[in-house]
C-alpha cells in the first residue's frame, strides 16, 4: 500500500507564506493550505488511477472540495495578493526541484 505524507511533503512551506498586506495573512495561509491539499489529492488520484477506482473516486471528491475552497478564498483576496501567492508557490517549487536535482 502506498502512503502519502501530506503534512511533510505538501505543506512544508506554510510558515513561509507572506501576504503583502498583513490583514490578508490569515487568508493567504488558508489559500496556500487548501491549494496544496488540492494538489495532494490530484496526485493521489493520479497514483491510484488504473489501480483502485474507489480510491480514485475518493481522491477526486477531496480534490474538488479543496479546489472549491481555495477558489472561494482566492475570490476574497485582492488580485495582487493572489499574484504574490502564486509567485511564492512557484519559488517554493523551484527550490524543491533544485534540492532534488542537487541531491542526485
Instruction: For 41-62, write each residue's pLDDT tens digit.
Output: 998 898 888 888 888 999 999 9
What is the span of the domain harbouring residue 44? 23-102
Mean pLDDT of the chain: 88
Summarize pLDDT for 79-102 with one digit per residue, the tens.
999 999 999 999 998 888 787 777
> How much is the pLDDT for 47?
85
Distances (CA, A) of 26 to 15, 61, 77, 93: 11, 25, 11, 21
Backbone angle region of 32, left / alpha / beta, with phi > 0 → left and psi within -120 to 50 → alpha: alpha
Q: What is the pTM of this model?
A: 0.85
> How much is the pLDDT for 104?
54
> How much is the pLDDT for 93?
87
Query: Domains in the chain: how many in total?
Result: 1
Q: Per-residue pLDDT averaged across 6-34, rounded?
A: 91
In a domain, 12, yes or no: no
> How much is the pLDDT for 1?
46
In a domain, 16, yes or no: no
Asked if residue 89 lies in contact with residue 35, where contact means CB atoms within 8 angstroms, the answer is yes
In a domain, 8, yes or no: no
Only one residue has cell 475570490, namely 75
Amino acid at each position: 500500500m502506498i502512503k502519502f505524507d501530506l503534512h511533510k511533503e505538501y505543506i512544508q512551506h506554510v510558515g513561509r507564506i507572506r501576504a503583502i498586506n498583513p490583514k490578508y495573512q490569515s487568508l493567504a495561509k488558508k489559500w496556500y493550505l487548501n491549494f496544496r491539499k488540492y494538489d495532494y489529492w490530484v496526485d493521489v488520484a493520479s497514483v491510484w488511477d488504473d489501480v483502485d477506482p474507489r480510491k480514485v473516486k475518493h481522491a477526486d471528491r477531496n480534490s474538488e472540495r479543496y479546489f472549491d475552497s481555495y477558489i472561494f478564498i482566492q475570490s476574497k483576496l485582492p488580485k495582487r495578493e493572489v499574484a504574490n501567492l502564486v509567485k511564492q508557490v512557484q519559488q517554493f517549487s523551484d527550490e524543491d526541484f533544485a534540492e532534488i536535482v542537487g541531491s542526485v
